[in-house]
């Protein structure tokens, strides 16, 4: 189900707001995983602000939807999202990655309300999500579980063990998403450990594969709603074709921005780029939205 024009525009503005706040948090922390946060900003906006049954009033409810952010280095954007939703105290964001802060560079579910799992040691999130989704089936619960993976994370064998199990047990109430930005901490994914043919690998494990523009929120929401409506016994994986550092010219598609910090000049340049980028994205929504 496509978004209305008004919904699409609102989500574009929210994603832009989150990218700006993430840049500020990166400065306060004196370093964070900003590149991968920006590549996943749009899917996280779609999930938290449109698709998921999850908010400040129900985040402890048994029937809420679950999101496992297996690429735990996206904590630098997850913390601002949880603050924006009113689940954590926004006044604590300047302490991100400081000694004594509830916000470590990889977030800890014991310290951060609204977080479903402590991640960052890559390769674990899909198995965690599988357990949550199987529990829902056993208990006749109707919630969905979503797992966001990084593509570099898919070098981990544990991802494919989980994928094999998801397909075997027909766990269709779990929706897998992969942030396919083609970069990882020490280079391009295809140089470090080739993943291609990536979609065919998931098909070989028994998944229906949907590929979308990971920076088109309308496409993302439509793919997610279609996956939720899936009536087959095949699980769905959504491959989000993205760019690391999306929205900021000097970061875009540059693996060296997997982790970094911004000086004042770079922060202001990033803000200018994000302002221009928001205008382009909103204009597309105004043109293509209905």
What is the three-class DSSP state of 174? strand
What are the pLDDT digits (tens) for 91-117?
999 999 999 999 999 999 999 999 999
Whole-model pTM: value is 0.96
Which CATH number applies to 5-288?
3.40.50.970
What are the pLDDT digits (tens) for 208-248?
999 999 999 999 999 999 999 999 999 999 999 999 999 99
Say what the pLDDT of residue 193 is. Answer: 96
Q: List the chain domain ranges.
A: 5-288
DSSP 111: T
What are the pLDDT digits (tens) for 136-164?
999 999 999 999 999 999 999 999 999 99
Residue 280 pLDDT > 90 = yes
Portion of the chain with pLDDT greater than 90, in percent: 97
């Amino acid at each position: 189900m496509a978004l209305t024009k008004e919904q699409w525009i609102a989500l574009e503005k929210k994603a832009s707001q989150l990218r700006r706040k993430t840049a500020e948090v990166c400065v306060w922390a004196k370093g964070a995983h900003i590149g991968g946060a920006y590549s996943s900003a749009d899917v996280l906006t779609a999930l938290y602000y449109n698709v998921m049954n999850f908010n400040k009033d129900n985040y402890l409810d048994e029937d809420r939807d679950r999101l496992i952010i297996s690429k735990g280095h996206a904590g630098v954007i997850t913390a601002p999202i949880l603050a924006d939703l009113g689940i954590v105290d926004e006044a604590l964001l300047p302490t991100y990655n400081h000694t004594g802060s509830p916000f470590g560079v990889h977030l800890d579910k014991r310290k951060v309300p609204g977080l479903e799992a402590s991640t960052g040691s890559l390769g674990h999130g899909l198995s965690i999500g599988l357990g949550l989704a199987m529990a829902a089936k056993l208990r006749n619960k109707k919630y969905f579980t979503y797992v966001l993976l990084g593509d570099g994370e898919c070098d981990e064998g544990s991802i494919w063990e989980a994928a094999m199990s998801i397909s075997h047990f027909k766990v269709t109430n779990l929706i897998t998403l992969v942030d396919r930005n083609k970069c990882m901490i020490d280079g391009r994914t295809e140089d470090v450990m080739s993943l291609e043919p990536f979609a065919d690998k998931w098909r070989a494990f028994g998944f229906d594969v949907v590929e979308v523009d990971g920076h088109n929120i309308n496409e993302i929401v439509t793919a997610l709603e279609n996956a939720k409506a899936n009536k087959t016994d095949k699980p769905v994986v959504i491959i989000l074709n993205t760019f690391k550092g999306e929205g900021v010219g000097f970061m875009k598609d540059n693996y060296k921005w997997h982790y970094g910090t911004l000086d004042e000049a770079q922060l202001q340049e990033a803000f200018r780029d994000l302002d221009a980028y928001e205008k382009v994205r909103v204009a597309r929504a105004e043109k293509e939205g209905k």
